[in-house]
Every structure is written in C-alpha cells, then in structure tokens.
Structure 1
Amino acid sequence: MTDPRPGDAFQPGDVLNNTYRIEALLGRGGTSDVYRARSEISGRLVAIKVLKSEFSGNDDYLVLMTREEEIREIRHDAIVRYSENHRTAEGLVYLLMDFIDGPGLDKKLKEGPMAAEDLLVLCKRVGEGLKAAHDRSIVHRDLSPDNIILRDGDPAQAVVIDFGIAKDTNPGAETIVGNEFAGKYAYAAPEQLSGNTDARSDIYSLGALLLANFRGKSPEVGANPMEVVQKKNDPLDTSDVPEPLKTLLDRMTAPDPAQRFQSMSEVLAFLDSGGTEEALGDETIIVAPPKAKPQPTTAVPDPAPSAKTPAKSTGRPTGLIAAAAAVVLIGGAAAAFFAGVFDSGPRFPAVSPYTLDIENLEDLPAMASGFVPDPEMQNALVNRMSALGGDVDVTLATGRIAPSWDADVLQVLEDISVLDHWQLSLDGNLGTITGSTSDADVASTLTALYSETWPGALSGSIEIALTSLFLEAAAVEQVLEQFADCGPLIQVNDPGPVGYGPEDPVLIKGTLSGDASRAGLQDALDDTTDGRTVVIDAEIMNPTLCLVENFLPEAPSSEIGITFRDGATGQENTTGDFRVGENPVIDVIIPDSVYTGYLSVSVLDVSGNVFHLLPNIGRADNSVNTLRGSEIGAVPVRVAYSLDEERPEGGIAFAVDGSSLGKSKILVIHSEAPLFRQMRPTTESAVGYAEALSLRAEEGQGLIRSLDSRILTTSQP
C-alpha cells in the first residue's frame, strides 16, 4: 500500500458514483494512480485507475484509458477484466477493473529465484491468457514482471494486467502507446526496437521474464543505445536452466522471430507434451532462416527478355554488396537506340524529360509516379508498392533511356529496400537516392557502392542519413529551453541514459505564454522526435505571470499542498476555477515531513500585482512551528478566508469581481530563514516582488528549500 497525500484524487472513505468506497491507495504512476475500493452494494473489491487531474482533460491521455477499457472483450481468468470508464463531477476520469489480491511477479523477482516447476506452471497460465488476447488480434507489447500478479501468490492463478499500450493488430486499428517504451527494454523483443510487433513479441517477452525470475534478477539491458541493440541481437544465456524449461525458453526468446514458437498455441502444445520434440507437428517445426534474403513475391512475374530489352539484367548479382557493370553506348549505336531504330515493340508517346519518382517516406504512403517504358515495369512497380501499402501512378511512354533501364531501376529498388526510409528520383538515366537508416553498416555499404557505380547505364548521387533508434533526452531539452517563455518545460517521462525508444511518446508539462508558443513548440518537437507521439500538457498563462516566471528562483517542488474551497459551501474546488461573485478559500497543507523553517504565501494577481497572504502586517509570524501549534501530521493553514467566517487580524477574504479576470498564481515558498529581512507591503507589483525575491535567493545560498504553486482561474458565470 502507499500512504495517501492531501492532494491525491481520492481519499480513503470517498464514495464514487454512489457505489465504490475508496479503501486504500495501491500505487502511484506518472499519469495515473490506482486505488482499492469496495462496492457498497455487492461488497465486491475493485481496482480503480484514475488519471491525475492535470491529464483528465487531455485527449491524448484519455485515449489510453479508453484503449484499456476496450480490452474488456477478452474474457479469460488470466486476463484482468475491465468494466468501464467514468468521470466524476470534478472532471476526474477513472477506470474500473478487477482487484487481484496477491504479489506482483516483480516482487517475487526481488525475493530471489523461482523454481523451474513453478515457472512452467506460470508459463502455461499466462500463455493461455495471451492466446485469448491474440485470438482477438490484441498484442500486449509490455509484458514484464510488474504487470503479472499472482493471485494468492499462486503461479497457477497468475493474472496479466495493464493493457494500456496494447496493440490491436486488426487492419486499420491504431497503435496506442502508454507512458513507457512499448515493451520495456529488459524484456522487449529485438524487433520492437524497430517498431515491429506481433504475437511473437509477447512470446519473447514472456520467455525473458520467466528467465529473469528463474535467476532472481532483471536482465542487463546495456548502458548505451549500441549496447542495447547488440544485446538484443544475442541469444539469452540459458546454460544453467534445467530441461524442459531451457528448451522452452530458447524457443521463446530466439532473437529472430522466425526461429521462435510462432504462436501461443505452439507454446502450450510444447508444455502439454512435457517438452518433447513431438509437441510440434511438421507444420510448426522451427527451422533456421535461409542464409540469403528471399526475393519479394510479386503478383506478376518478370517478363522474359524481348527484342526491345535483349538483356533485362544489370550484369551484376542481386544483392547489396555485388559489383556493378556499366553498359557503354558508343557513337552511332547510341544514336540509333535513342532514335528508336531498334525498337520492334509497341510504340508509346515520347516524353521529355523522362522522369520517375519512387518513395517510401516516413508517415507517408509509398508512391511511384512518372513514366515507365513497358507494362512489365508498370506491373513490377505495382507489386512493390502494394507490398509497402502504397500506390502507383505511372504512364507508359518512350524516352531517352537505356535498353536495360527498367531492370536497372528495379535493381536499385532492391538495394535500397534495406533503408528505413528512401526516395529514388530519376531523370532519364540519371538518378538520385536519398534515405535514412539506423544501421551504420547499411549506410556505409550503400554509400560506397553507389558512389562508385550504379546498375547498368544508370548514374547519379546518393545521400544516406544515419539515424539512431533512440532519441536522447538532451535533444528534447534543447528544444524546450528554446521555447520556455513562461517558466520551465519538463519532460514527464524521463527516458534515462538510453533515450526514447522508437515508440516512446514524448510527454511535456509546464506553462507557455500563448497559443502561438504552443504551436511553435509542437512543430519544433515534431521535427526533432522522428515521428514519435508528442503530448504537450502546458497551461497558457497571462503575460504578467510569464514575466514573473523568468525572475523566480530555481527551487524544487515539495509535498506542501494548496487546496481551494468555495467560501459559501465549504466544498473543495479541485479545478481552481471560480466565477464572478464566488469567494475562494485557500488552505496551505503542511505535510508531516515539514516541522521547521518559514512559509511565505503570495498571490500573483492577473492584474500584475502581488498580494502577500503570509506573512503580512497583521500576521507577521510565519514560522512553521507557530503555524503548526501543537498539531502533528498534515496540518492545513488557512491563508484566504470565507467572507462569513471569523478571521484573525491580518486574515484576508475576497470575492471575485469582473474587473480583472484570468489566471492568478498562488506561490508557497518554504525557506530556511525568514524570506525577507523586512516585511513586504501587503500589495506590490509582481515584477518588483519577483526581482527582490531573485536577489534574496542569490544572497542567501540554500535559503529557499522549495517553491510550490497552483493556478487560480477567475471567469464570468
């Protein structure tokens, strides 16, 4: 269990939807928390996953919750059952699911090695559940010990949870990625690092976590991107694993997906047979992949040599490393060819320039457009583009091209198909290749080959960009620093030293000065993050608050809370939004961890002024010791009062009027000593206060322990 805090979405005893009473906080996450609750009607225990308040209005986060809810169609005892999403009156979104009472497999991992017999039982149980998911074209993609729970500690009652980043593999379905790499690096299948995922990826991850729990320690993932990629290409070490678990794990975790069990049905058949070779029929035997890469299958075969193209060949073997031989056209023979003297086939209109563009670019459908000399070439392009999910818009035409032009072009396409993204542009016999790859060997080999010679009569230039599978957090930070015009912008999901994986989203929080700043930041991050999902959860502030942000000293946030209430009803206002005529009441919550120092509380008004709520002339003593009195634990301190309640001298109460509406910021500064040597006036300019605060922070190193804030918004009814 996790201790509750005053700022949590729910507190023990809260009742949701007039049905579910909160009993305990089970855990906190980056964007959501999970609670245990009990139905007041049936007594059934449930788990409730709630989006944190700052994300509940963001569509990008809501779609993740909806994604999990949709997994409820999978009905199996080994898959956690989801109910439905709800929204509270305050706008918080939560998801109901079964409560599974038992330790997570990650806890068992920390306790030490598990017996091979228990792991075989666990594999069968989880495999049966995943088969039910795979049968509905759902791939989990994030299997790891922390999302498998052992009900009552029994491996035979394991339950898979957390389908928030599951992938629906049905045609046209979207891939939804949660707040971590889709498949944690330690357990992800090698192909996931390139964004490729299918049921065999889950098989790999299940095998990897079984091996980790057999050893009682997590796999070593590597200290940098190159090590991660290298380790993923190596088979897992199972030398100390007893049979039949060893053979099972070897077949589940082969780096090449083609060498693994091809389905969970095969895994279960192996287990049911006791791990014998007879477990798999001829149709399911796993064999080594062919040494040579097979050629892509096409719907229309390449044509036989014709009078028009007597040798449909480049003169070099197929493959990336093969050497090219040039076709030399000399004197009158060349002139005769270009004049069409030797053309005994059908005549198509002549065009100039004779251009063809073929591309397979990121985030765009593959496309071929331009001119080709014969129907065979046209069909070959249709086959290739269809295999890439693309389209063809070409016209049959004659032009100034070599006899082997179409075969030469197809050879180029074969060679550059190893690139992640590519474009081939042709003008007659002159071509340009541009592309990108994360494989340094591919980049150097292709560049060297096409810098020396092209297939057949073609010639041209090549430019290959070497990209990384991983995006360093520092690259994102540079963009954030450039656009931080209203206080710091923070990366929510710190990817660590390895960086963001190919499918990792980039989640940003902070404040910005306007919609134009937000749009500029979005465009800059889109250009930097190589197609990754970018979510900017930034609040738009008024110019005064943004100006003050640039003067505020750097200080960490703390567990000190700020709560708002309605002065008329006493009800908590979780949104911080107040209408004209309403009376905001503000409490500062001193946590159990704070017993010394001084608290300074101020309001940076939308009008550009600062109101000092604590200390002020009528309430000068702001030491934590005085504010606490004799109370221990979490203590609320009222700094803005209800108009109707009795308040001490210096206590401030106010109602919202229509003269200046917008966003105001509540600042709570916890300092080692009094923040200022002299009492500040009750009201002063925001800029003057921020400058004085900045200077004071520079004078007293270590003076400011923490700085916490919250936005209060005023508007018309």
Structure 2
Amino acid sequence: MIDSRPTDTFQPGDVLNNTYRIEAVLGRGGTSEVYKARSEISGRLAALKVLKAEFSANDDYLVLLTREEEIREIRHDAVVRYSENHRTQDGLVYLVMDYVEGPGLDRKLREGPMPADDLLTVCRRVSEGLEAAHKRNIVHRDLSPDNIILRGGDPAEAVIIDFGIAKDTNPGAQTIVGNEFAGKYAYAAPEQLSGQTDARSDIYSLGAMLLANFRGKSPDVGNNPMEVVKRKGERLDTADVPEPLKTLIDRMAAPEPDARFQSAAEVLAYLREHEGETDPDATVIFPLPRTPTPKAKPAPENLPQSAPASAPAGAPPRKSLGGRVGLILVLALILGGVGGYFGGLFDGLVGPSYPVADPYQLTVDKPANGAPHAIGHVPSEQTRAAMSNLMTDLSGTADLTMATGAIADSWGTDVMATLSELRNLEEWRLALDGNAAQVTGETSDADLHAHLIKTFADGLPGALQGSAAIDLIPVFLAASEVEAVLDHLADCGPLATPGVTPVGYGPQSDIIVAGKVADTATRIGLFDELSTIAGERKVVVDVEVLNPTLCLIESNLPNAPPGGIGVDFIVGDRNEHNPSGRFFVGENPIIDITLPADVVDGYLTVSILDVSGNVYHLLPNLNRQENAVAKLRDGQSGPVDVRVAYSVDEAARNNRIGFTVDDSSLGKSKVIVLHSEEPLFGGLRPTSESASGYATALKDHVETNQASILSLDSRILTTAAP
C-alpha cells in the first residue's frame, strides 16, 4: 500500500457507482491508478484500475482498456482474473479485477537474492499462466518483477498481473502502442526495441526476471539508447547461477529468438525433466568445476641423484638437487610473505587443495540504505574469515567459495585493503574477475570523498588492476537543478515548486511540481527527467493538463484576481445540473454565469476556448450586445444567474448561442469570465475567431488597460465519447 495524495482521482472512503468503496491506493502510472476496493454488496475485495480523467475520453486508451478486459477469457490461477469495465457518473472509466494479496517480486528483489528453488517454482507457475495466455494469442509484453505477485508470499502461488499493453497476435489486432516499443528496458527482449514481439519475448522477460531476483539486483542495461541496444545483443551473465537454473535462464534469455525455448510449454518440459536436481541444502552459490587435483608427476628417469660413490678423491662434494629445491622454496616463502599466505599460494603444500575456478570472480556490494553482501571465490580460509568478519561488522552477509585460480599471490590482502577503504561509503561495489577489478561508490561526505580520490589516484591496492569511480552526492538537491528541468519543459506558463526550501531539497523531501501543461506527454516528461535527478526522493507532478489552445490563451490572460463569479453547467435535454463539467457526444451543454451579490456594476466578457483552437464569445456578441452588469441584473439584488449558452430549442427560437457535443473535437474547453470597469476591446469581437487572433487582441488590450480589469474567473468544460 502507498499513501494517498490529494491529487489522486479517488480517496479512501469514496464509493464508485454505489458498489465499490475505495480502501487504499495500490499504485500510480502515467495513464492510470490502481486502488484496493471492497464491494458494498458482496464484501469481496477487488483491484480497480482507473484511467486518469484526461484519458477517459480518449478512444485509443479506451480501446486499450477494453483489450485488457477481454483477457478475462483466460481462465488460469496464475493469471489475474479480470471482470469488466465501468464508467462513473463523472465519466471516469475503471476496470475491475481480482485483488491479489501478497508481495510482488519487485519487493522481493529489493529485499535481496531469492533461493534458486523458489525461482524454479515461480518459473513453473508463471510459465503455466503464459501458456494459457499464449494459447489465446495474447502476449504480455511487459513481464517484470512488479507484474508478478506471490499470493500469500508463496512462490507456488505466483500470479501475473497488468496486461495493460498486452497484444493480441491475431492478424490486424492493435494496441495503442502499435508496433512501437512496449515494456521495461531492463527485462524487455532485444527484438522489442525494434517493435517485434511474440510469445518468445515473454519467455525472455521471464528469464531476465529470474536472474535479477536470483542476484537481488535489477539488470544494468546502460545509461543511453546506444548502450541499451549494445547490451541487449549480449548474452546474460549467468556464471554465478547454479544448475539447473543457469541453463534454464540461458535458454530462455538468448538474444536471438530462435535460440530460445520457443514456447512456455518447452519451458515447462525442461522443468519437469530437471525437477529435483537443485540441492536445497547447498550453500555454494558459485558452482565450480570439480577438476581433479593433479597427481604428482613421477621423477624423470635421468634425473641425477646424489654424487656417485666413485667420485675422484679430493673433489668437493656435490650438493643434491633436493637441497637446491629446498633453498628455492625457502626463498619463495620469504619473497611471497604474507601476500602468498592470504592468496592461498601454499595451500597445496600445507593445507587443503581447492578446485580451480575459471573465471575467478568475486562481487562485494552495499546498496544505498541496505546491508552489504559478498558472493564469489576466495583463495584461502584466512581471506574468507577476514571478509566474513567484515560483512558481519557491517550487518551484511557472505556466500564465499574456496577456489584456486589465475590470481596474484597478494590477491586476498589487496582485496581486503580495498574493502577497508570502501566500508564507510553510503553505497559501494567491488567487482573482480581475476586480478581485474572495478570499484564504484557514492558518498555525501566531502572529506571522505577527497580521501578516497587521493587513495585511489594511482590505482587500486597491490596487484589489482582497475580504477575507482567514487561520486560525491550532495545532501541537498539544488532548487536550480529542478528549475532547469521545469524551464526546459514548461509549455503552458511557468511551473511552480511548492515546498522547496532556500537550500533546496533534503534527502527525504518530495519534489512537487504544480501548474499547467499543454499535454500528457509534457507531464510524463517532467516525471521522467525529475526522476533522473531525484535520487531517493519522491516526484509528484501535480499539474493540470490542458491543450495547446488553452495554453496559448493562458499565457496572454490578464493578471487579475478571482472575483467569485460562478460558472454552472446544465445538461440541456434533461435540465440536470452537471457538477463534473463533463459532457458526452450528443449532449447539449447549458452555461449559466452566477453574479455574486456584491458585483453590481462594470461589464462582463464571457468566452469559451474550444479544444479545436477556436474562441466563441458568449457575451457580448453580435446577437447579444448588452453586457453591463446593471442591465444583466435587471433590477435584481443578491446572487443572479445570467445564461450565456442555451438549450438548442431556445437558441433557435431567440437567436441565442446553443450547441451540442459532436465527436469532431473532444477534450478540454475553458469558459473565461472577465469583469472590467469598462467594455473590453473598445468594440465587439466576432462571435467566433481563432485562438491566436483572440490571444493577440487580448495581449494588446491588457498592455494598455490592465488596471480596468477587476477579476478573472474560469472553469473547464470537458467533452468526451460515451
């Protein structure tokens, strides 16, 4: 569950269509929100996926939600059960599905590595669900840890959710994303980057997801599109994965679709064939080839032994070869010193012999706000003990395997020296392949950062080959960094950042953006760009999505306070008040302007800015030129309603303005009410004109008559398909 926000479409306690009472928010996305709700009739829990208001009238997104509803035909316990779509009285569309209680694999991923046996169980269960979906020509296209929930925490009860971008593979079938990329980069199959998707893409995504949860770390796909494309063409690194999970992932996630398992049924067949092969008690995370210890070679027959008994008299005695070998060993011990001891060089002489590891790998990392973990190969008991003790001191864990390999004598000492320098960083990682090492880390401590930069200036300790990249992360995010993003993307006037302090955003501060934008793409762009600089901070883009026409006018409106003048909507054919301001195709909007009791003089100018890019002047206009407040009141005191858009019948009888909603221009329009001391523009505007023409006239008038404008009030009218 996540905390509710005032900007959410629904709040806990709201009841939809007299049936579903909202209990909590489960998630938020770019186009929809998901809520936990309970049926007031049956008491059954359900999950409601609600299209955001700006998408509920968009045919493309409605088609997409309808496609998701049709997935209810898939009857399998491993696929979330869908019910049907509904529309609220305000025109919001939502989809009802089963509520699945349990952690998602994304939460398990954050908690750390999962056992191989559990992942094999998850694979079996999810593959069964995919088989059922694929039989109906439905490809998920977005399989990732956040789309798999373990009902009750049980891997055997995994459930696939969120078929929001699923695609029917029948000829001619479409989704809103068409053939464009769909899915998350980290888990998407390589062919999805070029718009090619079939059942094998889901198999790849499942394999990548299994590997991520085995390691407890999301895949690193690069920092830019070129890196993403390059890495997607490479095989996943499964060197540390035990069998049979390793081969399973290798065959599921091959870069070339033809090299993968070709169906979920083939995955299930592999699992049945290798059932029970994983040792549940095994603690070895890195499987090693059990290379037999080489037998000692027999001494060559012509190897000289001791000096012959018939040596010439008086000749100096010859030293035996064994004595020379002993001297060499002593010199080697002296030269090797402690490095050879920690490196395991002499284990073959004085202790146990370990199997050979190739490649010889070790990874030790500490995530931000998490515990460190060491996994991989070490050359000696001394190194394993030292590293395990360090992990214990840091409240971390270690899965270390004893092995010999192509490493320097001082490898163990050098690794421990590196870790001792890294231990105080907030986040760090040491990855080794033989003597090649890569070190990364982050800290907000400037002194520690300077110390480490100096320490690693000439490279890593001892024989380790590589470099260290330690980043200094400021405690506060500067407000200027956020403002630069806002300035870059603002397309409907300035955007505000409520709550920002003079020093910027602290580690726990939310980055909140308020204001207006021209379209949904801008809002999504704001969220994406701010997320790249936010770190652990939440990003809340609480903006009103208008359209280019409204934004053009918004930027030229006078700077005037609201005057309390109301704008009320009525459905003409039913004479019903419409508090939502949402009208559907075929309906007749009636618009009333309510004058407060204290507005008794001056002039009213009322216009509606159409989503199609036109402006209609409701008052005054050629057929209704009187707009003086005193005349409009007609002697009445107190609040007075002034009708400016009529029913179609009355408009025809009295030569007034009236209209019905058609499907040629659906979206948001805006009613603007200006109250001024004198008539605006010095004369009548045409009844309708282009938004750009009106914006120019308004700008020119405001520049010389700003003081005469007393107030500005407005309200959105939304038109939508039923």
- Normalised TM-score (structure 1): 0.47
